[in-house]
Structure 1
């Protein structure tokens, strides 16, 4: 294995681990048992990558390289040994999630490019890799998915990391050091957005059917047969 491949594998495994930690921490915060923590951690760590690989018609890394299953297991055992106080570690959930998001926005885009994807497709694959596992984690744990809340930015930092990776590839400077720098920038972006509560426009909060019910006739059911 070449040095560049080894560094990339280490980076991808690190992203899997920190994402798995965020999933296990959420499981601990919700009072799940160790089995639930393992399931949630595994889903968070490899979920986005598996969706990406299926869409790219390639064998998922978690199936082709069983070493990808080790980080969720290690994360589960680690959080289990730390103790009960992790149930209040909300800041650590956000921090580890941000690290995973930043790393996967880079590695997901790079893998998509290596599979022959176009730049627009690679951008989407990078964002999907970064956000897919977190979305699955939050949905299964009955949390409001971070990607859908307007209190901070989630998808935009992922698109930022993927976009800068594409720019680096187009200019021929994409490498190990540049990848780490891009991941660091995406992590900083995500944490600043969370800490400062940066928002995106939320037009859906400006109206609702309940509020406008008095001003307009009730709309017929979408699935009702036409008169």
Structure 2
């Protein structure tokens, strides 16, 4: 049962991230090939990075070509319907928030199964959640959302930590997945709605050499 839930979440996250990539393509007024490229890179990038680091070969989309077909279909459909939202950037941010929370949990789950190390699982959860979006923004020449002032990476980290901690405490995985996902989404959503962020470094004059 849990394997089914995890698979559904991974498919949903894959499609969500593909939409965010395609919406960036729409902002850049790309052709349908550009939509397909950004959709695939965003949807598959995080999972590919995770699988390669963990030594899981072949990577998920090579083993299951239906993953890449799904991202292509979603991206191409977005080409025809991206004009519907009045503010595509806001939709992109919220789709990205859902994908971030989903992939943080799914990535941590896959890594936990592969290594059984909670630290590695959390790190791979964060990488799965963020890497596809980073590639999307670099290729689309957007300011990387990972550098936004609002809470972003922290949301993925919190979601992965909550999931892994609950699993290690013996909480049923279905509950751990739900709470991990909700934690990541609520934190990222709070950042989007209220502009929440942690204190940032403020530059200040350095001290002259030899003086206290």
TM-score of the aligned structures, taking structure 1 as reference length: 0.85
Structure 1: 5+ residue runs without aligned partners?
217-227
Task: State the structure with more CA Rg.
Answer: 1
How far the C-alpha of 1:134 sits from its partner, in A, is 0.5
**Equivalent residue number for residue 108 of structure 1:** 107
Cα deviation digits, residues 83-117 of structure 1 (max 9, x gap): 53458411110111011100001000000010024
Whole-Å separation in 1 of the counterparts to 2:190 and 2:160 = 18
Superposed counterparts of 1:72-91, under 5 Å: 72-86=71-85, 88-91=87-90
Q: 1:101-140: CA deviations, max 9, x gaps?
A: 0000100000001002411111100000000101111111
Between the aligned partners of 2:48 and 2:4, the Cα distance in structure 1 is 20
User: 1:106–1:182: 8 Å Cα contact kept in structure 2?
Assistant: yes
Q: Which of 102-111 and 59-68 deviates more?
A: 59-68
**SS of equivalent to 2:145:** coil
Distance in 1 (CA, whole Å) between partners of 2:23 and 2:74 is: 9
User: Which residue is equivalent to 2:64?
Assistant: 65
In the superposition, the TM-score normalised over structure 2's length comes to 0.90
**Which residue in the other structure is 1:206 paired with?**
203
Task: For 1:185 and 1:121, locate their aligned partners in 2 and report how far apart those are by CA, in whole Å.
Answer: 19
The answer to whether the 8 A contact 1:158-1:186 is kept is yes
Q: How many residues align?
A: 208
Q: Which piece of structure 1 moves more, 110-119 or 193-202?
A: 193-202
> Of residues 52, 55, 71 in structure 2, which corresponds to 1:54?
52
Q: 2: CA distance between counterparts of 1:160 and 1:166?
A: 10
- The runs of 5 or more residues in structure 2 that have no matched partner are none
Matches of 2:36 and 2:19 in 1, distance apart?
10
